[in-house]
């Protein structure tokens, strides 16, 4: 058993840990990075090297930053009092956080607790399927998802995956999931721009609905800003039309806020930037900023009532449970996380720092021909790298990875969308903690500037 001897810890890691998203052949001969400590926006690895973490824990999660003693204290006290109770019984933090969360989501009323974003999305899909059975004789069961969007790693959520490289080799998938076109104007599918493009991209969803038959379509599941698919902000006019279409055909609108939820885009939820009224919202990463595992599926009272109002039918309620949905650490941490976001005005900071980051990215686009497009909302920004601005040919994945490594060498961790399989490109992803300062933003942009010069000249 290795204690704090770091050489031994690295040996144990290499010998026994199967890392996420890792091809272990190359990993065997590399030096794994063990992160040992974090404070604010910074982390330190086992060699003592300090990094500005511009990816909030690797995958857009640690919204309030590291080292939050108040979250640790709240969780510690709650664990001693009552760590867990599941099933139909409630807990104090479960009830309190649900009430607080609903205050931030006008129009929504019910919170269903889960452990991960994938699980929350699965539960939403199950609700859609059950509603189809209860109300429509099983017919209105299809779930539409969008090209480039991602909703999770389980077979159910991979059935709704708009990123082919994630789903490849894991089929066969669940039936009844249908893809609709993406809305990325930079890689336009129609010869239009601005609002006309946004409306056309939404109309493409209607075309799929009409092709499938509206009476078969139960829900449309979309990310408010597509995350891993390339940091795609919707064109103007898009969401208004999407909402109209859902209303017209009585289709539930499910917004996947697993990345955008809890402040990432400068509003509590990404959908609130666009005046959308969803029927179901799922969230995970920022809910407790990674201090505890918690995910929520939030619905309107109308959706909730569909599982309540026919009590005479023994199969009518939502026959689902999540063992660790009964952990109290999650909602306790989430409540303190929300208090921090409010008390420190992190939504305001996110808007201001996001604006600064976008300006800096625009400057990089002016300076480096390899930056084809920059996109972002709040502290969730991307810069798409292209080998040729005219053809928009993506740069080789290895080169994008080199940019990430060059930033790492300067002590700044950034991310990149994975795998340039057909249709996918290399977009640098930036999502620092919502506490970022102007100096942090400048350090991130400066490091990318240097990295782009080193890699592309």
Binding site for ligand PLP (CB under 6 A): 59, 116-118, 121, 150-153, 223, 227-228, 256, 258-259, 284
Neighbours of 13 (CB within 10 A): 16
Element (H, E) at 426: strand 426-430
* Nearest-approach distance from CB 413 to ligand PLP, in angstroms: 17
* Nearest-approach distance from CB 424 to ligand PLP, in angstroms: 15
Copy the structure tokens of residue 354. 């996001």
* Nearest-approach distance from CB 260 to ligand PLP, in angstroms: 8
Copy the structure tokens of residue 353. 């720092």
* Nearest-approach distance from CB 59 to ligand PLP, in angstroms: 6
Nearer CB in complex with ligand PLP: 121/233: 121
Residues 6+ apart with CB under 8 A from 25: none
Give the CB-side neighbour count of residue 186, counting CA atoms within 13 A: 24
* Nearest-approach distance from CB 362 to ligand PLP, in angstroms: 25
Q: Which residue is nearest to ligand PLP (CB)?
A: 117
- Pairing state between β 142-146 and 177-180: parallel
Nearer CB in complex with ligand PLP: 148/356: 148
* Nearest-approach distance from CB 342 to ligand PLP, in angstroms: 24
Question: Helices 329-343 and 92-103 sit at what angle, rounded to 10 degrees?
Answer: 40
Using the 8-state DSSP alphabet, how is residue 323 labeled? G
Complete DSSP assignment for 63-110: TT-B--HHHHHHHHHHHHH--B--TT---HHHHHHHHHHHHTSTT--E
Nearer CB in complex with ligand PLP: 123/140: 123
Nearer CB in complex with ligand PLP: 60/197: 60
- Pairing state between β 280-283 and 252-256: parallel
Neighbours of 17 (CB within 10 A): 12
**Phi, psi angles (nearest 5°) of residue 341:** -60, -40
* Nearest-approach distance from CB 257 to ligand PLP, in angstroms: 8
Nearer CB in complex with ligand PLP: 238/440: 238
CA pair distance 61, 376, nearest whole angstrom: 17
| Alpha helix ranges (H) inside 213-293 | 238-248
Nearer CB in complex with ligand PLP: 227/357: 227
* Nearest-approach distance from CB 116 to ligand PLP, in angstroms: 4
CA pair distance 72, 24, nearest whole angstrom: 34
Using the 8-state DSSP alphabet, how is residue 327 labeled? B
* Nearest-approach distance from CB 288 to ligand PLP, in angstroms: 12
Nearer CB in complex with ligand PLP: 259/416: 259
3-class SS at 337? helix
**Distance of alpha carbon 229 from its chain centroid, rounded?**
10
Nearer CB in complex with ligand PLP: 57/445: 57
Neighbours of 95 (CB within 10 A): 12
Nearer CB in complex with ligand PLP: 225/451: 225
Cis peptide before 172 (omega within 30 of 0): yes
The closest of 325, 330, 317 to 291, measured between CA atoms, is 330
Burial bucket for residue 255 (CB in 10 Å: 0-12, 13-18, 19+): buried
Nearer CB in complex with ligand PLP: 181/443: 181
* Nearest-approach distance from CB 154 to ligand PLP, in angstroms: 8
Strand order in the sheet with 142-146: 110-114, 295-299, 280-283, 252-256, 217-222, 142-146, 177-180
Cβ 37 vs Cβ 43: under 8 Å? yes
Copy the structure tokens of residue 203. 């109309």
* Nearest-approach distance from CB 134 to ligand PLP, in angstroms: 26
Copy the structure tokens of residue 122. 């699965």
Nearer CB in complex with ligand PLP: 287/306: 287
Nearer CB in complex with ligand PLP: 15/21: 21
* Nearest-approach distance from CB 55 to ligand PLP, in angstroms: 12
């Amino acid at each position: 058993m290795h204690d704090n001897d770091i050489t031994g810890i690295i040996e144990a890691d290499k010998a026994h840990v199967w890392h996420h998203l890792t091809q272990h052949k190359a990993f065997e001969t590399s030096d794994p990075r063990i992160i040992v400590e974090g404070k604010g926006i910074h982390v330190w690895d086992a060699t003592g090297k300090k990094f500005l973490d511009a990816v909030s824990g690797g995958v857009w999660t640690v919204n309030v930053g590291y080292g939050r003693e108040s979250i640790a204290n709240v969780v510690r006290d709650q664990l001693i009092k009552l760590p867990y109770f599941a099933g139909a019984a409630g807990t104090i933090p479960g009830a309190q956080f649900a009430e607080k969360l609903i205050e931030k989501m006008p129009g929504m009323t019910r919170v269903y607790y889960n452990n991960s974003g994938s699980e929350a999305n699965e539960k939403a899909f199950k609700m859609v399927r059950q509603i189809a059975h209860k109300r429509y004789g099983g017919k209105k069961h299809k779930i539409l998802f969008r090209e480039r969007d991602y909703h999770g790693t389980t077979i159910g959520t991979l059935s709704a995956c708009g990123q082919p490289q994630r789903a490849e080799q894991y089929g066969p998938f669940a039936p009844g999931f249908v893809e609709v076109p993406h809305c990325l104007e930079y890689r336009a599918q129609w010869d239009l721009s601005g609002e006309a493009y946004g409306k056309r991209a939404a109309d493409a969803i209607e075309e799929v609905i009409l092709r499938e038959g509206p009476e078969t379509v139960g829900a449309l599941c979309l990310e408010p800003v597509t995350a891993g698919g390339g940091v795609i902000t919707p064109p103007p006019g898009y969401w208004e039309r999407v909402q109209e279409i859902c209303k017209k055909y009585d289709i539930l609108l499910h917004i996947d806020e697993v990345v955008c939820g809890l402040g990432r885009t400068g509003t509590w939820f990404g959908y609130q930037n666009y005046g959308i009224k969803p029927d179901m919202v799922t969230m995970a990463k920022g809910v407790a900023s990674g201090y505890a595992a918690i995910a929520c599926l939030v619905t309107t009272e109308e959706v909730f009532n569909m599982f309540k109002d026919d009590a005479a039918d023994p199969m009518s309620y939502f026959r689902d449970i999540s063992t660790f949905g009964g952990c109290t650490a999650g909602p306790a941490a989430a409540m303190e996380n929300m208090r921090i976001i409010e008390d420190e005005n992190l939504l305001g900071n996110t808007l201001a720092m996001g604006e600064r980051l976008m300006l800096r990215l625009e400057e990089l686009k002016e300076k480096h021909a390899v930056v084809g497009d920059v996109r972002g909302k709040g502290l969730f920004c991307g810069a798409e790298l292209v080998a040729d601005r005219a053809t928009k040919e993506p740069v080789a994945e290895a080169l994008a990875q080199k940019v990430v490594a060059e930033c790492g060498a300067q002590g700044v961790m950034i991310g990149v969308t994975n795998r340039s399989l057909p249709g996918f490109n290399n977009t640098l992803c930036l999502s620092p903690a919502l506490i970022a300062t102007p100096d942090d933003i400048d350090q991130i942009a400066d490091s990318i500037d240097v990295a782009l010069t080193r890699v592309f000249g």
